[in-house]
A and B are shown apart, each in its own frame.
Chain A
Amino acid sequence: MAEQHTASDCKQRASQGAGGSVSGNGRPNTAAGCGGGGGGLSGGLTQPAGWQSLLSFTILFLAWLAGFSSRLFAVIRFESIIHEFDPWFNYRSTHHLSTNGFYEFLNWFDERAWYPLGRIVGGTVYPGLMVTAGLIHYLLNLLNVTVHIRDVCVFLAPIFSGLTAISTFLLTRELWNQGAGLLAACFIAIVPGYISRSVAGSFDNEGIAIFALQFTYYLWVKSVKTGSVFWTIGCCLSYFYMVSAWGGYVFIINLIPLHVFVLLLMQRYSRRLYIAYSTFYIVGLVLSMQIPFVGFQPIRTSEHMAAAGVFALLQAYAFLQYLKDRLTKQEFQTLFFLGVSLAAGVVFLTVIYLTYTGETPNLPDSVCFRYAKIHIPIIASVSEHQPTTWVSFFFDLHILVCTFPAGLWFCIKNINDERVFVALYAISAVYFAGVMVRLMLTLTPVVCMLSAIAFSSVFEHYLGDDMKRENPPAEDSKEGLGPNIKSIVTMLMLMLLMMFAVHCTWVTSNAYSSPSVVLASYNHDGSRNILDDFREAYYWLRQNTDEHARVMSWWDYGYQIAGMANRTTLVDNNTWNNSHIALVGKAMSSNESAAYEIMKSLDVDYVLIIFGGVIGYSGDDINKFLWMVRIAEGEHPKDIRESDYFTPQGEFRVDKAGSPTLLNCLMYKMSYYRFGEMQVTLDFRTPPGFDRTRNAEIGNKDIRLKHLEEAFTSEHWLVRIYRVKKQENRQALDHKDLLSVLI
């Protein structure tokens, strides 16, 4: 009983220390200190500090295990395969790195993409992901653990999710206390917002970038707290890893200066802050320019100007503080006026110089607007760039999105330097998550941290033992909480957490574990039907076409064709050249003869399209067709007009009432070639040629192709490949000309 008394005593002190402090006191030292004291006093629970660290270690290990396991649904259900589209390019690059070495990878010019332009891969890619996977592969093979590079790539993201949980634990522990840290680690291990981009098989930048982000923020908070250059250099090195991993590093290089600026405004300037930010800016700047893709952007583009501006401001502020300490008020005022006029003169001259040379940074092109660009159709067409709905917030974050404002309130109420940082992080992340679905990922870590803080505060308040305090309150006094309400609230909170865990697992299993390369459907009796059409078609291409054949398809499939079929493609998911994509779009939307001219000029050998009419697959090329038309119209407005493809009533129809331009364009012909004869469903009341995706009987059943011939159609007609015929040797003569020659 005695040791329980001291243990709860420590808890009271810890909760008072964490809850009631005003200046930077959320440190776990109090718990550890009185834990040690409790061990000395009593004889029961020896070394509570040891038990505490064992408990933390076990919880973190279990969080890593939970995060790893819940990402394995796709691997268990299907196989260990790279998912989606972008990861195929990353996989192909990593394969190139592991077979050819680091310098070959850095200087790689890929002539099998974007024919005939090619792509400078070394200079247009963030190498962190490939280098990480390549390094792990190299080390394992060095130890004679022969793992194939594909397996390293597939399982990299789940392993890094465990590391993300640990760095979130460290960051939250710096902000609040150890209990909140453990809760945050558990949250981020299973939260669907993060899982969506880091399942096993999703070999993409975000898998390692979120770990680098959290770790950089942890080191930044640590360096602001201690003012030591060692932690700041650690932060710079972590920032360098983040720059190599993801384009989202711009978020860090804007959030940290914003933090410094707000601290200056709040009159919380301190020498530790000066040391931390100045060192971080300079060493981080030169480190970030080592990545070829980033190059000289940190001193040229407007996204990085905020950091430079705050750096200059901080130098001036620190120098003024130094002078203020040495001089009297009057002397300081004299110098201050002189300094301000000098600074104004310098700024004026700089503005004149910049406008004269025309190099003004385009301020509206700043970070906020960049993410909200909706005027370029190719950016607007990507589904991940759509604005976020309320449903997505709840779907991805469940109960955390409701408790996160409470955590934010607790942080603001007990403000100190590092809690200002997390408040700014929360506000900016909420803004970005509202703009684009894809940026929900940046919101997830901060929501996990702040919800953990909220839950931790609530639990501390309601789990503390009132009866064992120094002066236990009287039985029916208004102070202290009755045991009933405490257990009710604790039960409620635990139920919420359990429902959260169930929801996360359900969402991961149903929504985020599909490889997209292999489709599965379920019959009436529950048995599974696997549709492996994509891989069937890509392997046909790989084995039955010439090695230097060029394949034209819409840009979505470019990476997969390059990765699985190993053929040269015209456009792929990198979408860096809008005119080239518009050319392909024009070829798909024009009639066969005009398209043939374009295909001849681009040396196309095969055309690949996706057609979902037989099985009802809704992601096929006819459904994407209007985007092709819009993109082509953007570059060739005289040849392609979107309104031509609609009926006079303004509908998009593929049946007999559809517009003649649509019924004669290349995409329509390729999709529905020979489809008119096909009895799609077993039910003979539906006519042949019934498109199950559009729920319409197609208009033009008798399609004849002049310049293309069908090369391959997959089992369920999902992928259709056509060969482009070469020009005929001799032009066919007209009968009239023949007669005039003979006579």
Chain B
Amino acid sequence: MSLSVIAVISRFLEEYRSSTSNKLKVIDAYLLYILLTGAFQFLYCLLVGTFPFNSFLSGFISSVGSFILAVCLRIQINPQNKGDFLSVSPERAFADFLFAHTVLHLVVVNFIG
């Protein structure tokens, strides 16, 4: 532990600010927002109780699902990862993102009761 944790984190944040493109930063901001909505739903459930459980589950899974799908989009449009995704162009990644969201939200709306 030669470097303190704070120093590591601040260096990481500096490096993040400088080297990430704007497109990815937008997605990261969206990720943070989704994370907050999920955290608030969970907090609400802890405070108020789990009835009706299916509504809580559908809302929470909607948050987690949106988060995961946005992370997948971020991975797929990152030009550094191009070697992994030969058949998936950034446009295709975004189209898949929309399709996945349609399916996810259809199910969530059905489940919310």
B16 located at the interface, meaning its Cβ lies under 8 Å from any Cβ of chain A in the complex: yes
Could you give, for residues 318-337 of chain A, a 1 whenever the CB lies within 8 Å of some chain B CB and a 0 otherwise?
00000100110011001101
- Contact in complex: A287, B88 (CB < 8 Å): no
Within 8 A of B (CB), among A217-240: 226-230, 232-233, 236-237
Could you give, for residues 80-100 of chain B, a 1 whenever the CB lies within 8 Å of some chain A CB and a 0 otherwise?
010011011000110111011
Contacts of B47 in A (CB 8 A): none
B25 located at the interface, meaning its Cβ lies under 8 Å from any Cβ of chain A in the complex: no
User: Which of A227, A236, A279, A338 contacts B5, CB < 8 Å?
Assistant: A338
- Contact in complex: A337, B68 (CB < 8 Å): no
- Contact in complex: B100, A237 (CB < 8 Å): no
CB distance from A572 to the nearest CB of B (A): 30
A13 located at the interface, meaning its Cβ lies under 8 Å from any Cβ of chain B in the complex: no
- Contact in complex: A289, B111 (CB < 8 Å): yes
Count residues on chain A whose CB falls below 8 Å from chain B CBs.
34
CB distance from B31 to the nearest CB of A (A): 12
User: Which of B3, B72, B110 contacts A330, CB < 8 Å?
Assistant: B3
Contacts of B16 in A (CB 8 A): 326
- Contact in complex: A271, B75 (CB < 8 Å): yes
B32 located at the interface, meaning its Cβ lies under 8 Å from any Cβ of chain A in the complex: no
Could you give, for residues 11-35 of chain B, a 1 whenever the CB lies within 8 Å of some chain A CB and a 0 otherwise?
1100110000000000000000000
Given contacts A236-B103, A330-B2, A335-B8, contact A286 B85 (CB under 8 A): no
Given contacts A289-B57, A296-B57, A327-B8, contact A270 B103 (CB under 8 A): no
Kindly state the separation between the CA atoms of A232 and B65 in the bound complex, as whole angstroms.
13
- Contact in complex: A331, B57 (CB < 8 Å): no
Contacts of A228 in B (CB 8 A): 85, 87-88, 92, 96
User: Which of A229, A296, A334 contacts B93, CB < 8 Å?
Assistant: A229
- Contact in complex: B97, A286 (CB < 8 Å): no
Name, among B68, B100, B108, the residue most crowded by chain A CB atoms within 10 Å (CB to CB).
B68
- Contact in complex: B84, A227 (CB < 8 Å): yes
Contacts of A413 in B (CB 8 A): none
Residues of A contacting B: mostly: helix
Given contacts A233-B99, A279-B100, contact A335 B111 (CB under 8 A): no
User: Which of B12, B65, B72, B99 contacts A275, CB < 8 Å?
Assistant: B72
- Contact in complex: A226, B88 (CB < 8 Å): yes
A285 located at the interface, meaning its Cβ lies under 8 Å from any Cβ of chain B in the complex: yes
Residues of B contacting A: mostly: helix
Given contacts A229-B97, A274-B75, A286-B108, contact A337 B15 (CB under 8 A): no
Kindly state the separation between the CA atoms of A236 and B81 in the bound complex, as whole angstroms.
25
A678 located at the interface, meaning its Cβ lies under 8 Å from any Cβ of chain B in the complex: no
- Contact in complex: A287, B93 (CB < 8 Å): no
Kindly state the separation between the CA atoms of A279 and B92 in the bound complex, as whole angstroms.
16
Kindly state the separation between the CA atoms of A299 and B111 in the bound complex, as whole angstroms.
15
- Contact in complex: A227, B85 (CB < 8 Å): yes
B61 located at the interface, meaning its Cβ lies under 8 Å from any Cβ of chain A in the complex: yes
Given contacts A278-B71, A282-B68, A289-B111, contact A271 B84 (CB under 8 A): yes
- Contact in complex: B103, A230 (CB < 8 Å): no
B64 located at the interface, meaning its Cβ lies under 8 Å from any Cβ of chain A in the complex: yes
Contacts of B104 in A (CB 8 A): 282-283, 286
Within 8 A of A (CB), among B52-72: 53-54, 57-58, 61-62, 64-65, 68-69, 71-72
Kindly state the separation between the CA atoms of A334 and B6 in the bound complex, as whole angstroms.
10
B39 located at the interface, meaning its Cβ lies under 8 Å from any Cβ of chain A in the complex: no
Contacts of B61 in A (CB 8 A): 282, 285-286
- Contact in complex: A275, B75 (CB < 8 Å): yes
CB distance from A315 to the nearest CB of B (A): 9
- Contact in complex: B8, A331 (CB < 8 Å): yes
- Contact in complex: B53, A296 (CB < 8 Å): yes
A272 located at the interface, meaning its Cβ lies under 8 Å from any Cβ of chain B in the complex: yes
Contacts of A270 in B (CB 8 A): 84
A301 located at the interface, meaning its Cβ lies under 8 Å from any Cβ of chain B in the complex: no
Kindly state the separation between the CA atoms of A120 and B96 in the bound complex, as whole angstroms.
39
Contacts of B62 in A (CB 8 A): 286
- Contact in complex: B72, A233 (CB < 8 Å): no
B48 located at the interface, meaning its Cβ lies under 8 Å from any Cβ of chain A in the complex: no
Contacts of A289 in B (CB 8 A): 54, 57, 111
B36 located at the interface, meaning its Cβ lies under 8 Å from any Cβ of chain A in the complex: no
- Chain A positions within 8 Å of B, measured between CB atoms, are 226-230, 232-233, 236-237, 270-272, 274-275, 278-279, 282-283, 285-287, 289-290, 296, 299, 323, 326-327, 330-331, 334-335, 337-338
9 contacts between A and B (CB under 8 A): A233-B100, A236-B103, A278-B68, A278-B72, A279-B68, A283-B65, A290-B107, A330-B3, A334-B8
